[in-house]
């Protein structure tokens, strides 16, 4: 969990400046899965809404994870800081956003502008969106920040994103309810379920009260904020069979078959979708009219299975499709977060 929460999915530096040049000195620590190509961390700069060419951070450190080797399969590679440089920016005042990579944690060592240029804090003037989810929201497997569907949605909807997309760690932890409760937000979305199956960390007995507890905590601080509960997208191995899921030698994921006596109590995606729908409807009937449900299959269903590159995570094209559908369903005309 500590490694995942330090990764910078959705994180960016935002400021106002009239400098024609911007530099950022960083030491990234990139997470790499052994057997897959190493993707160096990419930083994307946006100047007054215009995306500039990508800049790759050559340097930093790496954490190499061999999923087939368990705890012994983690090795470290150490390097030096990288200097990122953007030039030929307009010499007039503008808003700069530097979006960080989704596959690394980042230590910022310096932010530089041209001599005699001005720099100031850019105030937040748009609505704030808090999103909580799994690796399918974290998008650590994309090459650049704007390939992550929450970033695509936030840009298209014109909202300020706070992403709590935690790969493997969307476990309904009580502290996350407090974090979301205390985070300023105009709208909130919670994409729940898949990590609980992946880890085999809950049963049908514990899931429902854990979801109620998360919602109760959020409502303590955000009683009227629209909250959208989103159930899992399609995952072939977990639809009708409980987890946990484990990596296979071919790079895909599949379930570990539980003993027959345990199966009736395990979580499947089909069961989770029904439970989340029931939880939301029952709370709406009890008076929470700002709580809404969205079926994850409407975002990414069985017909889209070919876009699951490892039978669990969407490809970049799959993430774009997911984001387009979420944008329309959540932020489109009449949507619960519009």
Choose the final residue of a domain: 121, 146, 179: 121
> Is residue 338 one of the residues assigned to a domain?
no
Q: How much is the pLDDT for 71?
A: 80
For CA atoms 324, 329, 330, 334, the dihedral sign is positive
Its domain, for residue 26, covers: 2-121
139 in the same domain as 44: no
99 in the same domain as 17: yes
Q: What are the b/e assignments for 252-289, b being 16+ CB within 10 Å?
A: ebbbeebeeeeeeebbbbebbbebbeebbeebeeeebe
148 in the same domain as 117: no
Q: How much is the pLDDT for 70?
A: 80
User: 131 near 82, Cβ under 8 Å?
Assistant: no
Structural domain count, the chain: 2
Q: Is 25 in a helix, a strand, or coil?
A: strand
Q: How much is the pLDDT for 1?
A: 67
327 in the same domain as 309: yes
Q: How much is the pLDDT for 259?
A: 64
Q: Is 236 in a helix, a strand, or coil?
A: coil
Report the distance separating Cα 62 and Cα 60, nearest Å: 7
Report the distance separating Cα 251 and Cα 314, nearest Å: 14
167 in the same domain as 93: no
pTM of model > 0.85: yes
User: 66 near 74, Cβ under 8 Å?
Assistant: yes
Give 83's Cβ-side CA count (13 Å radius): 7
Q: How much is the pLDDT for 321?
A: 98
CA 331 from centroid of its chain's CA atoms: 17
User: 256 near 197, Cβ under 8 Å?
Assistant: no
Comparing CA positions, the residue from 47, 202, 27 lying closest to residue 100 is: 27
Q: How much is the pLDDT for 223?
A: 98
| CATH assignment at residue 300 | 3.40.50.1110
Per-residue DSSP letter, 126: S
Q: How much is the pLDDT for 262?
A: 60
User: 82 near 92, Cβ under 8 Å?
Assistant: no
| CATH assignment at residue 12 | 2.60.120.260
> Is residue 40 one of the residues assigned to a domain?
yes
100 in the same domain as 23: yes
139 in the same domain as 98: no
> Is residue 337 one of the residues assigned to a domain?
no
Residues of the chain with pLDDT under 50: none
135 in the same domain as 188: yes
pLDDT per residue as tens digits for the range 323-337: 999 999 999 999 999
- In sequence order, the β-bridge partners of residue 132 are 164, 190
235 in the same domain as 138: yes
Residues in Cβ contact with 323 at an 8 Å cutoff, skipping those fewer than 6 apart: 149, 150, 152, 153, 156
pLDDT per residue as tens digits for the range 228-253: 999 999 999 999 989 899 889 898 99
Q: How much is the pLDDT for 260?
A: 61
CA 134 from centroid of its chain's CA atoms: 6
Report the distance separating Cα 150 and Cα 329, nearest Å: 14
- Is it true that the peptide bond before 244 is cis, omega within 30 degrees of 0? yes
């Amino acid at each position: 969990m500590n490694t995942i929460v330090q990764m910078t999915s959705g994180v960016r530096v935002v400021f106002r400046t009239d400098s024609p040049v911007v530099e950022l000195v960083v030491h990234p620590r990139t997470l790499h899965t052994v057997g897959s190509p190493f993707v160096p961390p990419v930083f994307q700069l946006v100047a007054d809404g215009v995306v500039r060419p990508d800049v790759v951070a050559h340097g930093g450190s790496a954490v190499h994870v061999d999923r087939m080797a368990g705890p012994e399969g983690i090795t470290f590679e150490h390097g030096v800081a990288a200097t990122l440089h953007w030039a030929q920016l307009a010499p007039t005042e503008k808003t700069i956003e530097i979006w960080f990579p989704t596959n690394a944690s980042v230590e910022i060592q310096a932010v530089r502008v041209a001599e005699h240029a001005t720099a100031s804090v850019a105030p937040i003037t748009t609505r704030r969106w808090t999103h909580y989810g799994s690796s399918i929201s974290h998008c650590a497997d994309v090459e650049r920040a704007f390939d992550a569907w929450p970033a695509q949605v936030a840009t298209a909807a014109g909202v300020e994103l706070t992403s709590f997309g935690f790969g493997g760690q969307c476990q309904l932890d009580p502290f996350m309810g407090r974090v979301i409760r205390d985070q300023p937000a105009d709208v909130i979305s919670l994409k729940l379920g898949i990590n609980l199956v992946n880890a085999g960390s809950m049963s049908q007995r514990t899931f429902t009260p854990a979801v109620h507890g998360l919602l109760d905590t959020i409502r303590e601080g955000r009683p009227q904020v629209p909250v959208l509960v989103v159930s899992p997208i399609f995952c072939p191995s977990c639809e009708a069979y409980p987890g946990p899921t484990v990596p296979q030698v071919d790079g895909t994921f599949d379930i570990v078959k539980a003993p027959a006596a345990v199966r009736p109590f395990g979580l499947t995606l089909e069961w989770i979708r029904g439970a989340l729908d029931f939880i939301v409807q029952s709370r709406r009937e009890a008076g929470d009219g700002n709580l809404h449900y969205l079926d994850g299959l409407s975002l990414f269903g069985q017909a889209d299975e070919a876009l699951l590159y490892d039978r669990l995570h969407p490809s970049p094209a799959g993430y774009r499709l997911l984001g387009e559908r979420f944008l329309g369903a959540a932020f489109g005309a009449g949507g619960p977060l519009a």
